[in-house]
Structure 1
Amino acid sequence: MRKVRIVAVGVVIAVLAAGGIVGFQIDTGSRKIDYVVGSEDGNRVELDVTLQRVDVTARELDLRIIPVLHGALADGADDIPAKDIEVETSSLTSGVLRFKAHDRVSLQDVRMGVDDGLVSSYPFDSYAAGIGFYVTAGDQDVPLSLRFRGYDALFTAKADDAEWRTGLLKANVVAGRSFSSSVLAWFLMIAMWALALAVLGAALTIVSKRMGLVWPAMGWMAATLFALVGFRNAAPGSPPIGGLIDYGAFFWAELLTTVSLVYVVVHGIRQARAD
């Protein structure tokens, strides 16, 4: 019987480990996808855009942009323009990005405003932003394409609904919580409820058995009250207070724990005085 239990535990551990590896593959696989849209002209500017971070508080996307030159627009290499390149973005802070002819191009950081999405929906929050580029080479409109990928560990991002013509390209970027951050957020919510219900169950047991002031139990309950705050602050991305995670778990867990602790203390004091 003991050997059977050991084997069963080993099988459970193996299944959980395999599930974790599968989840890791799903999470990392979604980050390796490049979304390519736009012109396929042999003489074009390809904007390589990566999403570095989703700033949920400022409601902005931090993008990193570098133009890749093809055909006659490149001066011997895809990172050296044959003509002056100007990239006008839809960003309200960065304006026009300029790249001099015959000089190696460099990465440019741009912040784009979010059009849709609220952090109060955490952990179900997602964000959408329209991005646009107008590109000229030597004051002439050129064919344009976009290669987009997301590097923010907390979000899975993609570009869709693209529209383009010579010199102009528009697309919509959608960023949602990654698989790993969503799983951890859900685990924290379930753990907060489990801790609160455990405290409530212990409180009801102490009172029903008229056990009086049980100091170790009250110390554990008080410690749980503060431990819940640590659980809340461990949420991926450190969302501000007032999100769905708070109304769905944290506020109620704190309330149940506090009420249980006070209930046990009041009952214990009455019991001690009566004795």
Structure 2
Amino acid sequence: MAERRTDKSDVKTPASDNSRIRRIVAAILVVVFALGYIAVIVFYRTGFDQTFSPPTPPKGGVAVVFAPTKVDPDARSTSGDVLMFLSPELLDSSGKSKVPLRLELFPALTKNSLDYAAGQIPSPVAVTIPTPGIVQQYPIDTYQVGFSARTTANPVLGRGTEVPTQTSVFFQVPGWNLAEVQVTQDSASEVTTTAVISRSGSTKTVAALMLVLMVALAVIAVLVVQSTATGRMRLELNVASWITAMLFALLPIRGFLPGDPPIGSWIDILVFFWVEATIMVCVALAAIGLLMRAREKRRSSKV
């Protein structure tokens, strides 16, 4: 009988299978990180292409623009500048206000009443308005913006004369987005503006990547401990030290989250605390394994 000859190139060995799996996993990781990087860049640039153009005030009235400069989720407030633009009917030949004006802004944590003297060009005024929200819902936390603006002329004479008013919001704060802007004209001189502030896509993407890395560290620690328990890997002191180091590496990773979410956020309850607990258990199992191995060595040395 003729002997069968097997081509060595057709023989699959466990080593070749493992090498192929490693290459596939590495390729997937590269693709995921590349997509994450592109997403962060694209989301970060979103909104920065917006340019400010002065609004056109209504006839005989003013246009008020609120331009936020900072969102403080811990204080549940938003700070920014209030800009006022006057119609030609309210300006003199030199481009200054003919009459004194008063802008009432409600609610505001700083100034509720902004006065603009006659004979001057209205300058930006810094204000802070409350924006209620729950920062513990990071990174999907949202904050409600709502304020009413009312303008009067010659306010020293009683309530003054009502001035037609329109409002808008120019939002360009890094790491945040503004959406669902609604402007309601309550009267000719009073306008209510509402909107929703949320974290930008870049912040959400980076936070998601950090959470995935935390989970990956916990999974790796579990696989290492499992391999040592089944005998596929020898438990050495450096392996236990590496698992212990991961326990302390999680804290700076948690601090890398953009926006500095407070301790106790839902991401901590959902991911961080459980990852820490998992690695703590792995450290304990590794320590027990080292103690048992040292005990076995002492017994064998006595025999």
TM exceeding 0.5: yes
Pair 1:190 & 2:212 matched = yes
Pair 1:81 & 2:97 matched = yes
Question: Per the alignment, in what secondary structure is the counterpart of residue 170 of structure 2?
Answer: strand
User: Deviation of residue 212 (structure 1)?
Assistant: 6.4
Measure the CA separation in 1 of the matches of 2:122 and 2:56.
21
Stretches of structure 1 that go unaligned for 5 or more consecutive residues are: none
Question: Per the alignment, in what secondary structure is the counterpart of residue 82 of structure 1?
Answer: coil
Measure the CA separation in 2 of the matches of 1:96 and 1:155.
28
Partner of 2:285 in structure 1? 263
Partner of 1:150 in structure 2? 171
Measure the CA separation in 1 of the matches of 2:233 and 2:49.
59
Residues 267, 76 of structure 1: CA spacing in aligned structure 2 closer, same or farther, 3 A cutoff? farther
User: Deviation of residue 63 (structure 1)?
Assistant: 2.3
User: Deviation of residue 148 (structure 1)?
Assistant: 0.9
8 Å Cα contact 1:46/1:144 also seen in 2: yes
User: RMSD of the alignment, in Å?
Assistant: 2.8
8 Å Cα contact 1:159/1:171 also seen in 2: no
Of 47, 70, 74, the match for 1:30: 47
- Which string of whole-angstrom CA distances, capped at 9 and with x for unpartnered residues, describes residues 166-193 of structure 1? 1111011210110110100111111110
User: Deviation of residue 44 (structure 1)?
Assistant: 2.1
Structure 1 residue identity aligned to 2:153:
A
- Which string of whole-angstrom CA distances, capped at 9 and with x for unpartnered residues, describes residues 5-32 of structure 1? 9xxx9xx88x948x85576345433355
8 Å Cα contact 1:118/1:127 also seen in 2: yes
Corresponding residue pairs, total:
261
Measure the CA separation in 1 of the matches of 2:276 and 2:120.
60
TM-score (norm 2): 0.77
Of 248, 257, 264, the match for 1:242: 264
TM-score (norm 1): 0.85
- Which string of whole-angstrom CA distances, capped at 9 and with x for unpartnered residues, describes residues 148-177 of structure 1? 122221210146232112111101121011
8 Å Cα contact 1:124/1:177 also seen in 2: yes
Q: How does 1:32-51 map to 2 (within 5 A)?
A: 32-33=49-50, 41-51=58-68
Measure the CA separation in 2 of the matches of 1:203 and 1:191.
18
Q: How does 1:94-133 map to 2 (within 5 A)?
A: 94-115=111-132, 117-133=133-149
Residues 69, 149 of structure 1: CA spacing in aligned structure 2 closer, same or farther, 3 A cutoff? same
Measure the CA separation in 1 of the matches of 2:233 and 2:168.
68
Measure the CA separation in 2 of the matches of 1:77 and 1:229.
60
Measure the CA separation in 2 of the matches of 1:159 and 1:31.
18
Higher-strand-fraction structure: 1
Question: Per the alignment, in what secondary structure is the counterpart of residue 30 of structure 1?
Answer: coil
Partner of 2:161 in structure 1? 140
Measure the CA separation in 1 of the matches of 2:48 and 2:141.
18
Moved more, 174-183 or 215-224: 215-224
